[in-house]
Structure 1
Amino acid sequence: GEEIGWKDVHRGLAGNVDGPYTWWSQRGQAFDNDTGWRIDYHMATPALAAAAVSAVVDRAASWDTRFSDHAPLVVDYRL
């Protein structure tokens, strides 16, 4: 990644915060407590990363409405 010049687009937009997570364990109440792992990354060249306008984890509203233990990361760019 970043050691060769690529940028972590989602982290650049979200800032230095925990998460946003894209995977939650089926154990306990990981989803409800938003205790997950950040397993999806969108890496881009510096020029493309600078064009990113939003990054969102398409997370279900609640545990019982989710269809997976994973949620996709969606990034929008202005080009």
Structure 2
Amino acid sequence: MVGTSTSFTKEKAPCGRQVKGSRHHDEDSSGMVFDDVNFACGCRTIQHQFHDGSCRTRVIRHDGRMLLNQLSAEHAE
């Protein structure tokens, strides 16, 4: 997997605040993609796409409340 980490200075977090943070992106040549964003306020967004085409998305607010926890079960044939 080839990963990159980048910082940002102002982006809207799941709680609605405009804060700084960092994004980590990994992917491989077989279709696996990870995109994780950590905000300075403590909020997080996590998107993982797997080799079979399914995708897990999580959005977590800084107080620990899960705003979204979704798994798509789309399988590539």
TM-score for both structures, normalised by structure 2: 0.28
Structure showing greater relative contact order (alpha-carbon pairs closer than 8 Å, 6 or more residues apart): 1
Q: Would you tell me which structure has more strand in proportion to its own residues?
A: 2
Q: Would you tell me which structure has more helix in proportion to its own residues?
A: 1
